[in-house]
Amino acid sequence: MVECVGVTRTFTRGGSSGWFTRGDAAAETVTAVADVSVAITPGELVGLAGPSGSGKSTLLHLLAGLDTPTSGTVTLAGVETSSVSSRRRTRLRLANVGIVFQHFHLLPSLSARGNVAAPLIETGRSKRERRRRAEALLEQVGLGDRVQHKPGELSGGEQQRVAVARALATDPALVIADEPTGELDTETGAQVLNLLAEVATDRAVVVASHDQQALDRTTRLLRLRDGRVTTVEG
Ligand SMILES: Nc1ncnc2c1ncn2[C@@H]1O[C@H](COP(=O)(O)OP(=O)(O)OP(=O)(O)O)[C@@H](O)[C@H]1O
């Protein structure tokens, strides 16, 4: 589903003016991800672990096609992400990747159903079809009785389950989750992890986390340090 070969991502930062300007001697290059090769297939729940700044989020962004590598290749659904325009990459991502964030990122003015249906607007489905699909997904994540609630009327765990339903709206083959339990208590986090494990039975799920409970659920665990994969477990 997604494959990285020799992927490195560097950023340039620092210098007297804050962000890099050409010729600024104090600017430095930070290697966020260094020479990572990994292939992830449907049915896997892959974990990314490592200390803060070890490159987990950067690698997730590369896998999702939100960013492209400085060197090496990321191939998502058969397309090398660096070889296409940013517009085509966006379309590739929308069709193949669902994303779950630590802070849910739901639209506060929309109902749970509206949030889940939002990614479907671009797909050309009728309003009725979008509503039906959103309701079915909310049912699947155990929120069939909350479809009309707005995010502010839902608990953190419920909001994250709405976010998982939204990530599944376009039926993506890859789901990326960045610290999905970071805002949740242990029990609520466990519910969201159960859901992600269920989701991973027929698609690829990649979770970056500091939460041992989340890492324990993975079928393969990549430990990162200074942008490099130091160990692979499972
Ligand atoms: N846009 C950017 N510009 C400059 N440096 C960046 C940028 N994004 C990430 N970095 C740097 O790359 C390194 C890896 O960051 P990243 O966010 O991937 O780590 P992480 O493992 O996800 O950390 P955390 O667990 O704290 O979220 C860090 O040194 C970070 O400061």
Residue 74 placed within a domain: no
CA of 9 to the centre of ligand 1 (A): 10
In tens, the pLDDT along 129-185 reads: 999 999 999 999 999 999 999 999 999 999 999 999 999 999 999 999 999 999 889
Nearest-CA residue for atom 11 of ligand 1 = 32
- How close is the Cα of 51 to the center of ligand 1, in Å? 11
Asked, for residue 172, whether it belongs to a domain, the answer is yes
CB of 74 closer than 8 Å to CB of 62: yes
Spatial separation of the C-alpha atoms in residues 117 and 135, rounded to whole Å = 9
Instruction: Examine residue 3 and state whether it is found in any structural domain, yes or no.
Output: no
Asked if residue 23 has pLDDT above 60, the reply is no
Buried residues in 40-68 as b, exposed as e (16+ CB within 10 A): beeebbbbbbbeeebbbbbbbbbbbbbbb
153 within domain boundaries: yes
Residue 12 within any structural domain of the chain:
no
DSSP single-letter state for residue 62: H
User: How many domains would you assign to the chain?
Assistant: 1
CATH number, residue 214: 3.40.50.300
Instruction: Give 64-116 pLDDT, tens digit per residue.
Output: 999 999 999 999 999 999 999 999 999 999 999 999 999 999 999 999 999 99
CA separation for the pair 130, 45 (Å, rounded): 28
pTM for the model stands at: 0.91
DSSP string, 128-147: HHHHHHHHHHHHHTT-TT-T
Indicate whether 174 belongs to any domain.
yes
Taking CA atoms only, the protein residue closest to ligand 1 atom 12 is: 32
How large is the ipTM?
Answer: 0.97
9 inside domain: no
Residue nearest to atom 17 of ligand 1 (CA): 57
Question: Going by CA atoms, what residue is nearest to atom 13 of ligand 1?
Answer: 32
Which structural domain, as residue segments, surrounds residue 98?
Answer: 43-68+84-222+229-233
The mean pLDDT of 210-230, rounded to a whole number, is: 95
Q: Report the chain's mean pLDDT, rounded to a whole number.
A: 93
Nearest CA to ligand 1 atom 7: 11
Please list, residue by residue across 138-149, b when 16 or more beta carbons sit within 10 angstroms of its beta carbon and e when fewer do: bebbebeebbeb
Would 32 be classed as within a structural domain?
A: no
Report which of 139, 61, 55 is spatially closest to residue 101, judged by C-alpha positions: 61
Sign of CA dihedral 151, 154, 156, 158: negative
Which of 9, 11, 33 best tests ligand 1's pocket when mutated (most atoms within 8 Å of CB)?
A: 11
Amino acid symbol at 44? E
Which ligand 1 atom lies nearest to the CA of residue 60?
18
12, 58, 59, best to mutate for ligand 1 pocket (most atoms within 8 Å of CB): 58
